[in-house]
């Protein structure tokens, strides 16, 4: 599966224990997405369109209305690297 560089960075952060939090408006539409790594730092460049790509490809999932985390399929698709650089 072809995964872009930004998608790869986000999946690495999630695979190491990070999560994605969403902010919604009164109409329940997503207005902001934030990707955190396991130390609590925010991943820059993470956008709503990138979130939708990861969700459409079923690389991330939310369980019991919690934050989005990497799915089993996402773990299989991520390439092994020492860090995100």
- How would you write the pLDDT of the chain (85 residues) with one tens digit per residue? 688 899 999 999 999 999 999 999 999 999 999 999 999 999 999 999 999 999 999 999 999 999 999 999 999 988 776 665 5
Q: Count the domains in the chain.
A: 1
The whole-angstrom separation of Cα 67 and Cα 70 is 10
Closest CA to 55 of 36, 33, 79: 33
Q: What is the H or E stretch that residue 31 is in? A: strand 30-36
For residue 83, is it within any domain? no
pLDDT attached to residue 85: 55
pLDDT attached to residue 79: 76
**How does DSSP classify residue 79?**
P
pLDDT attached to residue 2: 82
pLDDT attached to residue 78: 87
The domain containing residue 52 runs over which residues? 5-76
For residue 44, is it within any domain? yes
């Amino acid at each position: 599966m072809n995964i872009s560089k930004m998608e790869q960075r986000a999946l690495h952060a999630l695979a190491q224990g990070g999560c994605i939090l969403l902010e919604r408006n009164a109409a329940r539409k997503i207005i902001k997405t934030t990707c955190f790594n396991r130390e609590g730092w925010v991943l820059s460049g993470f956008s709503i369109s990138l979130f939708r790509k990861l969700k459409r490809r079923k690389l991330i999932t939310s369980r019991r209305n919690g934050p989005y985390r990497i799915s089993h399929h996402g773990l299989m698709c991520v390439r092994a690297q020492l860090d995100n650089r």
